[in-house]
Structure 1
Amino acid sequence: MKKFLILILICSVQSILAQAKKANDILTIDEPSNKTYPQGEVPNNDYTLYNTAGLDIKPEFPGGVIEFNKFIEKNFKIPKEGLKGKIYTTFVIEKDGSLSDIKVLRDIGYETGSEAIRVLQLSPKWKPGKQNNKTVRVLFSAPIYVNSSPK
């Protein structure tokens, strides 16, 4: 019981002293700025990465999803017969429609992840996404379906 009371005393003294404020301590969160920005420009917003969920106009492969699947099917070289599964990828669609920061979240083995990256790098430029009538960078997720039947 004594040990328990001593422990409570130590904890309470520590929390009381930790919250004590000194007279010289000044905490500045945001410094006021008198700089005016040109109309329509938001400072430090050039490289903001958006999700597809909240966009006014979502990015799109030229021709739509069906053409994207045809492009993948045409260019993806399956390394092994009888391989089936999904390769989960993410990439950034830049303001000019090019793809960057291509990552494979999960693949099915047999070098399918590196093949997915190679094919996405060959992709033509996409129609970029828009938010508030401004072209923006968008993080996009796309599964790649692999279904090769043995011959």
Structure 2
Amino acid sequence: MGHYFRNELISSGNSQRQEPGRSGLGVNEEKSVTIPCDSLNQEKVYLVIEKMPEFPGGMAALKAFVAKNLVYPEVAKQKKIEGVVVLQFVVEKDGSLCDIHVLKSLGVGCDEEARRILSLSPRWEPGTQQGRPYRVKMTMPVSFSL
């Protein structure tokens, strides 16, 4: 499935509450949209590699980037929806991101916002094996909390 950021949540707020009766983790594949990689790039994608890809500045910088840029969807805010969207994507050899799609959906605009934020991110430090860059599949949870 890919690297999961040491089980750390990338959060939009301080609270980890969820709406009563909601798990916050449903799969809604009908709304899932994938941002494709270059169709000519048929190289293997790795799940584990010596040095995994990293957001510039590390986990703290990624959390700050999400907190600064995330716009809580108005419908989700009105309905007091909280939970986690889990994204999967490929970090290319040059650090660019592609194949961004939702593994776990929250709906009500949160999936789209999580994808939007990830697509805005600067180039990552690519994953390397014996000093050479490789394509690596990653998984990232984004927490929505009011």
Report TM bin, short chain.
0.5 to 0.7
Q: Name 2:45's counterpart in structure 1.
A: 49
Q: Name 2:129's counterpart in structure 1.
A: 131
Residues paired across the two proteins, number: 101
**Partner of 1:108: helix, strand, or coil?**
coil
Normalising by structure 2, report the TM-score. Answer: 0.65
Q: Name 1:85's counterpart in structure 2.
A: 83
- Is 1:67 aligned to 2:49, yes or no? no
The Cα offsets for residues 50-92 of structure 1, whole Å up to 9 and x where unpaired, read as 013xx11111001111111111121111113233111000000
The Cα offsets for residues 16-73 of structure 1, whole Å up to 9 and x where unpaired, read as xxxxxxxxxxxxxxxxxxxxxxxxxxxxxx7110013xx1111100111111111112
Q: Name 1:76's counterpart in structure 2.
A: 70
What is the root-mean-square deviation of aligned Cα atoms in Å?
A: 1.3
Unaligned runs of at least 5 residues, structure 1: 1-45
State the one-letter code of the partner of 1:59. P
Counterparts of 2:81 and 2:145, CA distance in 1: 6
**Partner of 1:51: helix, strand, or coil?**
coil
Normalising by structure 1, report the TM-score. Answer: 0.63
Q: Name 2:117's counterpart in structure 1.
A: 119
